[in-house]
Amino acid sequence: MGGPPPASSVQYLTKTKRSERSLELFCIFALTFAALCLYCFNLGDMPLRDWDEATVAQVAKEISRHSPEALHWLFPSLNGEPYLNKPPLMHNLIAEAFRLWGVNEFAARIPGAFLTALSVPVLYGLARELFSLRLPALLTALTYLTMLPVVRHGRLAMLDGPVLCFGIMTLWAVLRCRRDLRWSLVVGLSIALVGLTKGIMMAGLWGAIAFAFLLWDTPRLLLSFYGLLGFILGSLPLWAWYGAQWIHYQDLFISTNLWSQSFSRIFNEV
């Protein structure tokens, strides 16, 4: 009584855990491969859509023509005028793609398509936190993978796919930080990435969702010093970018980005 378990039982448990880990990795790699094939195949076959794609690509093109020392990546322009519509995270990624593959449709679309593809295994990880069985999580990821709006907008040089990726990453990190406070840093960083892609209003929306869930599910995390420290440190890039824009543009940035492109849309039709 009270002795160690038989060696055969230990070997069986070890083998079972190893098989479980292998199956989990296979599901993640299979979903990632399928998403990359679906979202990144033949991206350069169609011309850019007017307006949205063309605007993003033009801003990225102007960034790619300047050296990093010129700080054009931080203060971008559109046709020579300051571009204050959206933060330039995606525009900078597309600019790097232009430097690698030249200015073409494929290079304009590949950063957004890659991030949209990455959102599929991230959603699988989120679903694994919610469901005790693997099958519901796998079906969730497969359903999302084949949704027409996700496929369509994820393959364009637009901001919707990356926002989905960073938003899902936020929710996944929120679920993980309930067991490990280090994930609070990922929560803050994911919200910052949402804000650096689409603006502070979208970051506030995802932040409010995360806050409401933690308030309902695990309110102790909102009072944890290390949890709050992780949230704050993770979100610093967003506040640093907004601070730099305000110092550089001052009232023009407030009236254009913060008001016309953000807060006024709460009250006015777009």
Per-residue pLDDT of the chain (270 residues), as tens digits, is 455 556 566 565 566 677 788 899 999 999 999 999 999 999 998 899 878 899 999 999 999 999 999 999 999 999 989 998 899 999 999 999 999 999 999 999 999 999 999 999 999 999 999 998 899 999 999 999 999 999 999 999 999 999 999 999 999 999 999 999 999 999 999 999 999 999 999 999 999 999 999 999 999 999 999 999 999 999 999 999 999 999 998 888 787 776 666 655 555 665
Residue 263 near residue 201 (C-beta atoms within 8 A) = yes
Angle at 68 between CA 258 and CA 79, to 5 degrees: 55
d(CA 134, CA 167): 22
d(CA 122, CA 119): 5
pLDDT of residue 261: 61
pLDDT of residue 251: 82
pLDDT of residue 264: 57
d(CA 209, CA 215): 10
pLDDT of residue 12: 54
- Which of 213, 197, 188 is CA-nearest to residue 165? 197
pLDDT of residue 254: 80
Residue 67 near residue 58 (C-beta atoms within 8 A) = no
d(CA 156, CA 39): 9
pLDDT of residue 67: 92
End-to-end CA distance of the chain: 73
Alpha helices in the chain (DSSP H): 7-40, 52-64, 89-101, 105-130, 134-145, 148-154, 160-177, 183-198, 200-217, 225-249, 251-253
Each domain of the chain, given as residue ranges in start order, spans 19-266
d(CA 66, CA 70): 6
